[in-house]
């Protein structure tokens, strides 16, 4: 999977490129892969895990130890599925909070929250459970989005959502929006009207990057996707 170059990775962590390289030499973390041209490529989720751990501990050695533990923790959405099937909002919140204590938010969303919603969406006899799960997941993702740091990147991203209001698709769209914002990208979600005569796509803002996707098929790793040409 394509990764993030050193300057962008340092920006995610809020440090200089030299500091990032010194952490790699001293602690062996974060661990970049190398391109054919021998350039460093960092994994976004690993960087975000380290960033969150550093904010929590305030010490790089402790943060790296915590980040490694969270990256290695296996994800399981069994308890969350049970809570959603039981229409138990408190149990669903508790399940996610327990996951966040062991692994980064991005892994919790991608490997736990979204699969739980998709499991319910795959069963046509669980429409009520899916509606509850979608409403709960959307509310939780909105709450997490409010806690995301202010945008740090100059280029904005226009999200073209083609989910057509499907419950599970809408949750995936919100999850991608959250991931982009946590990566420092200013986002402008836009849902295509169902009617083909309902108006044109909004005018492209200055210095923006278009990011067209179909919710559930989109990558949760925003910087691995190329923007279409102007």
Cα–Cα distance between 21 and 45 in angstroms, integer? 18
- Judge whether residue 154 has pLDDT over 90: no
33/200: higher pLDDT: 33
- Judge whether residue 137 has pLDDT over 90: yes
- Tell me the CATH number of domain 78-146, given options 1.10.3470, 1.10.1240, 2.30.30, 1.25.40: 1.10.1240
Residue 136 confidence (pLDDT): 95
Quick one: DSSP state of residue 220?
Answer: S
Cα–Cα distance between 228 and 1 in angstroms, integer? 19
- Element of type H or E holding 181: helix 167-182
- Judge whether residue 36 has pLDDT over 60: yes
What does the CA dihedral 95, 137, 129, 82 come to, rounded to 10 degrees?
-10
- Judge whether residue 152 has pLDDT over 50: yes
Using DSSP's 3-state secondary structure scheme, residue 186 falls into coil
Mean pLDDT score across all residues of the chain: 77
State in words which class domain 6-72 has: mainly alpha
Average pLDDT in the 116-137 region?
92
Q: What angle do CA 189, 190, 193 make, to 5 degrees?
A: 155
Residue 222 confidence (pLDDT): 47
Average pLDDT in the 97-107 region?
82
Quick: pLDDT tens for 204-226: 444 444 444 445 555 444 444 33
Cβ contact 41:51 at 8 Å: no
Q: Where in the chain is the domain with CATH 1.10.1660.10?
A: 6-72
Cβ contact 222:179 at 8 Å: yes
Q: Where in the chain is the domain with CATH 1.10.1240?
A: 78-146
Strands 33-34 and 40-41 come out as antiparallel
Q: What pTM was computed for the model?
A: 0.60
Average pLDDT in the 56-64 region?
91
């Amino acid at each position: 999977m394509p990764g993030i170059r050193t300057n962008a990775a340092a920006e995610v962590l809020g440090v200089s490129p030299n500091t990032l390289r010194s952490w790699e030499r001293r602690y062996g973390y974060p661990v970049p892969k190398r391109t054919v041209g021998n350039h460093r490529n960092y994994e976004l989720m690993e960087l975000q895990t380290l960033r969150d751990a550093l904010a929590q501990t305030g010490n790089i050695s402790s943060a790296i130890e915590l980040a490694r533990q969270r990256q290695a923790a296996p994800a399981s959405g069994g308890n969350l599925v049970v809570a959603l099937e039981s229409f138990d909002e408190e149990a669903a919140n508790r399940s996610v909070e327990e996951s966040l204590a062991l692994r980064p938010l991005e892994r919790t969303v991608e490997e736990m929250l979204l699969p739980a919603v998709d499991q319910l969406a795959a069963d046509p006899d669980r429409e009520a459970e899916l509606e509850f799960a979608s409403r709960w997941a959307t509310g939780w993702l909105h709450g997490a989005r409010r806690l995301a740091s202010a945008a740090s990147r100059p280029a904005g991203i226009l999200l073209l959502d083609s989910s057509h209001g499907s419950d599970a698709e809408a949750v995936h769209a919100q999850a991608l929006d959250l991931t982009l914002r946590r990566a420092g990208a200013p986002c402008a979600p836009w849902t295509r009207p169902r009617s083909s005569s309902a108006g044109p796509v909004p005018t492209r803002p200055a210095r923006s990057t278009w990011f067209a996707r179909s919710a559930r098929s989109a990558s949760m790793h925003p910087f691995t996707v190329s923007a279409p040409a102007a």
